[in-house]
Amino acid sequence: MSLSEMERLKEVVAKLRDPKDGCPWDLEQTHKSLLKYLMEESYEYMHAVEDGDYRKMEDELGDVLLQVVLHSQLASEEGKFNLNSVAKTIADKMVRRHPHVFTNNKARDIKEIKDNWEAIKKAEKAQEESLKKYEICDELLSFPALTSSAKIGKKTSKINFDWEEYSQVMYKVEEEWQELKEELTPGRDLNKARVQEEMGDLLFSVAQLARHLDLDPEMTLREANLKFKRRFNQLEDIARQEGIAIRESSQEELEGLWSRVKEIEKNK
């Protein structure tokens, strides 16, 4: 993107936030209210990358950039930071963390580059750590939820607050599943707050089981989502070939198509 287009985007966002002539919706937004959009747009870009669709990648990356500019505009209005300072901060960080590129301190190989990177990050974090009240879990929530769960478990395992082997975690998953089922007992008044709490406990324990099996729970679930998408696309292909309107099909008919797709994949 040329500098002029970047400046134009900044002006567009500033206009959207103009107190007098701006967009009412944009004027209502806060850093917190925009978080879900930043997350959604980031995932939509990831999906475009997985599809190898460069047109969508360009479009979705623009949506991610819009969120960056919006947050910077809000902070600028509050006198906290702006887009230029954000760009300066990341540029300075990249220069600082790549001495093998920006100084005469040349690294010999990839391993040395990684070692230097970790050493620099460790030194940077040492300053941050001195200001923190809690040392174990504070920074671990700045990731997607399943990733955060795995990182929390990995961090607490270093202070011996963990299960010894995955079979023990399996029992914990079963325990949490039973507690959720109890909340969902037929005839019992549904307490959504309790159900959400128990569902969260179940998902957290499943993430720990994945960690003990050396699996990334976030990527594992993404792969499951991709598998479902692939199979459902095949279901639609079969329906189209056979003149079946899936929106007018019964659950039983769709289950039949789904079974056929699974059988096709099994026999490949």
Instruction: Indicate whether 165 pLDDT > 60.
Output: yes
Say if 135 falls within a structural domain: no
Identify the three-state secondary structure at position 107. Answer: coil
pLDDT tens, position by position, 3-55:
689 999 999 999 999 999 999 999 999 999 999 999 899 989 988 998 899 99
Residues 207 and 234 in one domain: no
Say if 110 falls within a structural domain: yes
Instruction: Indicate whether 108 pLDDT > 80.
Output: no
Residues 85 and 9 in one domain: yes
Residues 82 and 120 in one domain: no
* Of the candidates 263, 260, 200, 230, the residue with the CA atom closest to the CA atom of residue 51: 230
- Helical segments of the chain, H only: 3-16, 24-28, 31-51, 54-77, 83-97, 99-102, 110-129, 145-157, 166-183, 192-212, 217-241, 251-266
CA distance 131 to 114: 26
Residue type, position 43, single letter: Y
CA 27 to chain centre: 26
DSSP conformation class of 112: H
Lowest mean pLDDT among 55-64, 112-121, 125-134, 238-247: 125-134
- Work out the average pLDDT over 115-131: 73
Burial class (CB in 10 A: 0-12, 13-18, 19+), 123: exposed
Residues 14 and 73 in one domain: yes
Q: Say what the pLDDT of residue 113 is.
A: 79
Residues 42 and 77 in one domain: yes
pTM of the model: 0.62
Residue type, position 76, single letter: S
Say if 134 falls within a structural domain: no
Instruction: Indicate whether 202 pLDDT > 60.
Output: yes
CA distance 49 to 56: 8
Which of the pair, 197 or 137, is modelled with greater confidence? 197
Q: Rounded mean pLDDT of the chain?
A: 91
The CATH number for 186's domain is 1.10.287.1080
Instruction: Indicate whether 1 pLDDT > 60.
Output: no
Residues 79 and 24 in one domain: yes
Q: Say what the pLDDT of residue 130 is.
A: 62
Q: Do 50 and 226 touch, CB atoms closer than 8 A?
A: yes
CA distance 7 to 14: 10
Residues 157 and 83 in one domain: no
DSSP conformation class of 190: P
pLDDT tens, position by position, 245-266:
999 999 999 999 999 999 999 9
Say if 194 falls within a structural domain: yes
- Work out the average pLDDT over 198-205: 97
Half-sphere exposure of 195 (CA within 13 A, CB side): 9
- Work out the average pLDDT over 144-164: 90
Residues 48 and 110 in one domain: no
- Work out the average pLDDT over 59-81: 97
Query: pLDDT tier at 136 (50, 70, 90 boundaries)?
Result: low
Residues 25 and 87 in one domain: yes
Question: Token pair 């709490």 is at which residue?
Answer: 197
Q: Say what the pLDDT of residue 106 is.
A: 73
Say if 255 falls within a structural domain: yes
Burial class (CB in 10 A: 0-12, 13-18, 19+), 208: buried
Which of the pair, 199 or 125, is modelled with greater confidence? 199
Decide which of 182, 197, 215 is a domain's last residue: 215
* Domain of 8, in residue numbers: 3-93
What is the CA angle 210-129-133, rounded to 5? Answer: 90
Decide which of 177, 192, 215 is a domain's last residue: 215
Which of the pair, 51 or 80, is modelled with greater confidence? 80
Residues, the chain, total? 268
Residues 168 and 224 in one domain: no
Instruction: Indicate whether 127 pLDDT > 90.
Output: no
Structural domain total, the chain: 4
Q: Say what the pLDDT of residue 100 is.
A: 83
Decide which of 35, 67, 93 is a domain's last residue: 93
Q: Which phi and psi angles does 109 have, rounded to 5°?
A: -155, 180
Which of the pair, 50 or 194, is modelled with greater confidence? 194
The top-scoring range by mean pLDDT among 100-104, 143-147, 242-246 is 242-246
